[in-house]
Structure 1
């Protein structure tokens, strides 16, 4: 979610997924009231035909790999122990997996096992962040212009001769500095917090909360513009050698602490 522009004294928070598809998981129970529902999951009725029992589970793309396991080991273990077949979607646009078995009991137990795996994953650091909350800065044309000028000044120093013998080993090109590594000016933003929204309930809840706290965020900012200073450079998650995202930390100009108060309201309310 990106947010920031003032309209009728409200903060316009925009929901932004990190990937092109947000992840979700909804549990489907394949028993006639025979098993208890694990926390954080919901139910769907089973399908029974000609001695074959099946249930459909809606699983977000970010969770599929944990159900499969390394080289499919987790999937094969569940299938062997429970006597079922787990069928994954052939299209990336589908989030459902199907569990088929010879009895309601085996399908139910396999469903419970998968629900347990999901519960463990969402509580661990293994699950990647799926969304983030931010304040958009691209709504200010003068800031976008400065960002474009900065990028051009860096890229303009890059000199690549037609003859490879004339290219110095320390050029920006050799260091991997090119246009693709810069953020698009139209998406210039200030990140407030990262979120792991692994199911539709959490997604909808976070969305509703953000809508409801807009007045509180504006109150924390005293309904006035805030000035920040970009300071330093840092990498996101991990060492410099493995860094994939670099960002510039910010500090508020002045000692009012309004930005920190507003960010704290967002972080506390959503989490």
Structure 2
């Protein structure tokens, strides 16, 4: 890891558990490494069994954990919580209705428990953010509005498509990958990394300011247009340097190595989603238009068994297969929060400009 990368992720380190990498607090790791260097390692006992011996060494601390994640810590019939307590020699109280848990033990054992809890949460949590290149162009907007009018017309027949399936124009973007950022400190660390390490990488890769692309030709994801889940428009690099593919590959690799971007173990597909079967908007005006590889596989399995899991894009492909939304300049890379507002806009946590 470069000095700049280490500086950008100050306060966090990467650990490997079950062949996957996770971010945890460096202070917690320091406590663990200190223990490993001491020999021999003494057996950790649950504090409740030591109460009479070293009560003065134990104290309570509050550790931030979203209440929505409490179930993962508890596990089936309390099995996960029991295991963590046994392995770390601590007492852990899950505070109902609060965004924290209370941990009691020695300083060293409390740090072990924090690492165990944080690693578990990151592994179980759904993605919270995504790395993206937004699309913003008046010409693209006008042409998409015309396209939407046809789709919304009662005379246009396309089985399985509802208005909720159409991506709001302000939300259009190229997704580079998804992220799990657990809390404000991790969001700030990720943004800092993007603005420092990733900005340097972008500067080294770019040949000019911005990348000109043409959005042209519709395609469907996974399978025949008659049973489509995703309809997207292709991205054709028309810039002088033709650096878009290289830039995306380098950014993704850098973010994965830093433990910020989820490595989904599947080829990257450059595209901009225009229609998707599972609704863009929920009842809470949020969106989940980026699937992990596991979710994609689950959705495909569902599609084979559920006629409502796909739409018929044949008529769209026949009439608009060569749709040309004109050219647009890609000018920035953002860390976006999952979930768009009522106007179909994502919240950007931070961004860097695409420039030489």
Give the TM-score band, short-chain normalised: 0.5 to 0.7
Instruction: Tell me the matched-pair count.
Output: 203
Distance 1:28 1:86 in 2: 22
> Could you tell me the TM-score, scaled by structure 2's length?
0.45
Residue 119, structure 1, aligned to residue 119, structure 2: yes
Distance 1:151 1:89 in 2: 46
Distance 2:24 2:95 in 1: 14
* Contact 2:24/2:119, CA 8 A, preserved across alignment: no
Residue 234, structure 1, aligned to residue 221, structure 2: yes
Which secondary structure does the structure 2 equivalent of 1:183 belong to? Answer: coil
Distance 2:94 2:125 in 1: 22
Change in CA separation of 1:62 and 1:145 when aligned onto 2, cut-off 3 Å: farther
Which secondary structure does the structure 2 equivalent of 1:208 belong to? Answer: helix
Give CA-to-partner distance per residue, 1:38-78, whole Å, 9 cap, x none: 58xxxxxxxxxx99942211124674442122454423555
* Contact 1:38/1:115, CA 8 A, preserved across alignment: no
Which secondary structure does the structure 2 equivalent of 1:75 belong to? Answer: helix
Which secondary structure does the structure 2 equivalent of 1:227 belong to? Answer: strand
Alignment of 1:198-237 (within 5 A): 198=182, 202-212=186-196, 213-214=198-199, 216-217=201-202, 220=206, 222-230=208-216, 231-234=218-221
Distance 1:27 1:72 in 2: 28
* Contact 1:79/1:86, CA 8 A, preserved across alignment: no
Give the C-alpha shift of residue 84 in structure 1.
Answer: 3.4
RMSD over aligned CA atoms reads 4.2
Match of 2:102 in 1: 98
Alignment of 1:1-271 (within 5 A): 37-38=31-32, 53-60=59-66, 63-70=69-76, 72-75=78-81, 78=84, 84-90=91-97, 94=99, 96-99=100-103, 104-105=105-106, 109=109, 112-113=112-113, 115-119=115-119, 122=122, 124=123, 126-137=124-135, 139-157=136-154, 172=159, 175=160, 177-198=161-182, 202-212=186-196, 213-214=198-199, 216-217=201-202, 220=206, 222-230=208-216, 231-234=218-221, 246=230, 248=232, 250-253=234-237, 256-271=241-256
Q: Which has a greater percent of helix?
A: 2
Match of 2:312 in 1: none
Match of 2:313 in 1: none
> Could you tell me the TM-score, scaled by structure 1's length?
0.56
Distance 2:26 2:73 in 1: 13
Give CA-to-partner distance per residue, 1:3-51, whole Å, 9 cap, x none: xxxxxxxxxxxxxxxxxxxxx986998xxxxx96358xxxxxxxxxx99
Give the C-alpha shift of residue 110 in structure 1.
Answer: 6.7
* Contact 1:134/1:191, CA 8 A, preserved across alignment: yes
Distance 2:114 2:215 in 1: 47
Which secondary structure does the structure 2 equivalent of 1:266 belong to? Answer: helix
* Contact 2:92/2:101, CA 8 A, preserved across alignment: no
* Contact 2:67/2:96, CA 8 A, preserved across alignment: no
Which secondary structure does the structure 2 equivalent of 1:37 belong to? Answer: helix
Change in CA separation of 1:157 and 1:252 when aligned onto 2, cut-off 3 Å: same
Give the C-alpha shift of residue 134 in structure 1.
Answer: 1.0
Give CA-to-partner distance per residue, 1:191-242, whole Å, 9 cap, x none: 122223336554333211222344653652522441134541226xxx99xx
Which secondary structure does the structure 1 equivalent of 2:212 belong to? Answer: coil
Change in CA separation of 1:207 and 1:62 when aligned onto 2, cut-off 3 Å: farther
Distance 1:116 1:79 in 2: 10
Distance 1:27 1:65 in 2: 25
